[in-house]
Amino acid sequence: MAVRLRGIGKSFPGVVANHDVDIEVKSGTVHALVGENGAGKSTLMKILYGVQKPDEGSIEINGDDLVLHSPADAIKQGVGMVFQHFMLADNLTVMENVVLGAEKLYGIGDRARAKIKELSETYGFGLSPDDLVEDLGVGQRQRIEILKVLYRGAKIIILDEPTAVLVPQEVDALFGNLRGLKAEGYTLLFISHKLDEVLAVADDVTVMRRGTTVASVRPADVTARQLAELMVGSELPSPSTEESTVTEDVQLTVENVTLAGSGERNLLDDVSLRIHRGEVLGIAGVEGNGQTELVELVMGMRPATSGRVRLGTEDITEWSTSDRRNAGIGYIPEDRHRHGLLLDFPLWENRILGHQDRAPSVRGPWINKAGARKDSERIVEQYDVRTPSIETTARALSGGNQQKFIVGREMSGDPVLLIASHPTRGVDVGAQAAIWDHIREARRQGLAVLLISADLDELIGLSDQIQVILRGRLVGEFDPDTVTPEQLGSAMTGAGGEE
């Protein structure tokens, strides 16, 4: 047995993250861990990696009872972890990123280079030590993170949401890499919310609910729907929008917008689009192809080099982000920690964030604490944000509950346009269904939505039209009723040609 966790318990102020957790992981297998956000999966894996110390219970690795005080202790025992948010320096090479912090293993010269090439070639990663990270796609960056833990000698590898930002072809490539590692005797644990992927690649699945383990199953014995029921007690949700609500009124116009980059290639190149009231426009693209820049340009966070942006009939090209917010643009950022929350502040103060010029956050020139607290209570109830209280810091919430709070905040005040960038990234099927329902209902009420997502089923299900962005250009328009994820994935990587 590679890993045996017994009676694991871990509490934080106001939150019991794990209680009486038991899990066994056989050597040389792929073991999936699934459950709702807040079920305790990430905390459990951080305990195994030495980031957190359990309050109770025992950790056994390869038959040895251990106390892990830090990730360094876990690495010595052959345990490595690849986090959902990549920890790479874009301005460094593959080799420099891999060697950083592990210089004593193989030095920083030819021995290190040879080891990296050997690992890359052995497991089909296709990485060159001298590649600059900023020039690589998200799938290649994922492989660098795995390469980092292999380089440090890990034989037990934990992956937290490894496919969250990958297109179907990259997912297939990653799973091929994982099967290659398994064949060489590596043990792989991965957290995922994509149940079809879990069933495709895992040998065993452990289900967690509300901080404890509730079932261990083999993929051959369950369906995705049954797994969802074990996780949340409900059927697997569908993002289908059902009826069309698109009106004739244009809410957002982006007209021949170009955004210059630092090199020869533009970050955005002559981009034009229109979104009507009651319409969801989905943007599909491999990360790094301009969708982030498009969102930031519409929000006023980046000035256009040329072109115009209109909200309704108003030309807002020169408007500040604050003015655009006050005109009714809601914003769900792709990185909730960097741009969506003040993690060490209570929820009611996070309710004010980005809305500090409008009720209920202010009364006249003053912050309205009572109004912010009352509306935070409404968001917690309406959006099923699971928290001990609105005085709890945002950091103490699970990722899914953080996301539901942000969605609730950005849906407040009757916005006319919602910029939703990966609105369900890293959330479980229950939270995902709730967010879809809120977007559908707002769309029925006339909200225009610009939706950026790496979940192609989500894009197809929620959107009224889908456009593909590639190297800063919109290269294809697709009908969600007829397009397949494979066709979108092909267009996103340029394999399908440009229209």
The per-residue pLDDT for range 352-411, each reduced to its tens digit, is 988 888 888 888 888 889 999 999 999 999 888 888 899 999 998 877 889 999 999 999
Same domain, 480 and 369: yes
pLDDT digits (tens, 9 = 90+) for 148-160: 888 988 899 998 8
Evaluate whether residue 237 is within a structural domain. no
Residues 6+ apart with CB under 8 A from 364: none
Q: What is the pLDDT of residues 215-270, one digit of tens each?
A: 899 999 988 878 888 887 555 455 555 667 888 899 999 999 999 987 778 899 99
Q: With residue 456 as reference, give the H or E element that holds it.
A: helix 456-462
The pLDDT of residue 93: 92
The model's pLDDT over 96-144, given as tens digits with 9 standing for 90+, comes to 999 998 888 888 889 999 999 988 888 778 888 998 988 887 778 888 9
**Residue 435 pLDDT exceeds 60:** yes
Beta bridge partners of 107: none
Residue 224 sits in the same domain as residue 272: no
Does residue 451 sit within a domain? yes
Report the pLDDT averaged over residues 171-199: 86
User: Out of 189-198, 210-219, 326-335, which region has the weakest mean confidence (pLDDT)?
Assistant: 189-198
Domain boundary among 176, 202, 232: 232
Quote the pLDDT of residue 165.
Answer: 66
Q: Are residues 222 and 303 in the same domain?
A: no
Determine the pLDDT at residue 211.
Answer: 86
Residues 44 and 163 in one domain: yes
**What tokens does 214 get?**
């509730």
Name which of 77-86, 328-337, 424-433 the model is least confident about: 424-433
Give the total number of structural domains in the chain: 2
Residue 406 host element (H or E): helix 399-411
Q: Which residues contact 366 (CB under 8 A, 6 or more apart)?
A: none
Average pLDDT of the chain is 87
Whether pLDDT at 346 is above 70 = yes
Q: Stretch 413-436: mean pLDDT, rounded?
A: 85
Domain assignment present for residue 498? The answer is no
Q: Residue 160's domain spans which residues?
A: 3-232
pLDDT recorded at residue 399: 79
Chain segment 294-338, per-residue pLDDT in tens: 999 999 999 999 999 999 999 999 999 999 999 999 999 988 888
| Residue 351 shares a structural domain with residue 476 | yes
Instruction: Write the CB contacts of 23 (distance below 8 Å, at least 6 apart in sequence).
Output: 3, 4, 5, 33, 44, 206, 213, 216
CA-wise closest residue to 260 among 226, 290, 223, 224: 290
Say yes or no: 224 and 269 in one domain: no
In a domain, 187, yes or no: yes
Mean pLDDT, rounded, for 53-74? 92
- Indicate if the pLDDT at residue 201 is higher than 70: yes
Helix or strand (DSSP H, E) at 205? strand 204-209
* CATH number of the domain that residue 59 is part of: 3.40.50.300
Rg (CA), the chain: 23
Residue corresponding to tokens 């020169």: 318
Q: CB of 94 within 8 A of CB of 128?
A: yes
Question: Where do we find the tokens 């309050």?
Answer: 55
Gap between the Cα atoms of 173 and 140, Å rounded: 10
**Per-residue pLDDT at 456:** 85
Q: Are residues 111 and 67 in the same domain?
A: yes
CA angle 23, 24, 25 (to 5 degrees): 125
Asked whether residue 290 falls in the same domain as residue 429, the answer is: yes
442 close to 417: Cβ distance less than 8 angstroms: no
Does residue 225 sit in the same domain as residue 255? no
Judge if 267 and 354 occupy the same domain.
yes
Q: Are the CB atoms for 372 and 349 separated by under 8 Å?
A: yes
Asked whether residue 240 is assigned to any structural domain, the reply reads: no
Q: 385 near 405, Cβ under 8 Å? A: yes
- Provide the pLDDT confidence category of residue 424 given band limits of 50, 70 and 90: confident
Q: Under a CB-based contact definition with an 8 Å cutoff, are residues 418 and 448 in contact? A: yes
Stretch 71-76: mean pLDDT, rounded?
91
Q: What is the pLDDT of residue 379?
A: 94
Which residue, 200, 232, 264, sits at the end of a domain?
232
The whole-angstrom separation of Cα 44 and Cα 24 is 13
Tokens describing residue 287: 């990360």
Cα gap 302→473, rounded to integer Å: 17
Residue 36 clears pLDDT 80, i.e. is over it: no
Residues 402 and 272 in one domain: yes
How many CB atoms neighbour CB 123 within 10 A? 21
In a domain, 499, yes or no: no
Give me the amino acid identity at 124: G
- How far apart CA 115 and CA 120 sit, in angstroms, is 9
Residues 93 and 216 in one domain: yes
Distances (CA, A) of 322 to 131, 269, 325, 358, 405: 39, 26, 5, 11, 20
Structural domain contains residue 497: no
**Contact between 190 and 159 (Cβ < 8 Å):** yes
State how far the Cα of 256 lies from the Cα of 197, in Å rounded to an integer. 39
> Distances in Å between the alpha carbon of 117 and those of 125, 129, 260, 339?
9, 7, 35, 37
pLDDT given for residue 498 in this prediction: 44
Q: What is the DSSP letter of 346?
A: B
- Residue 148 within any structural domain of the chain: yes
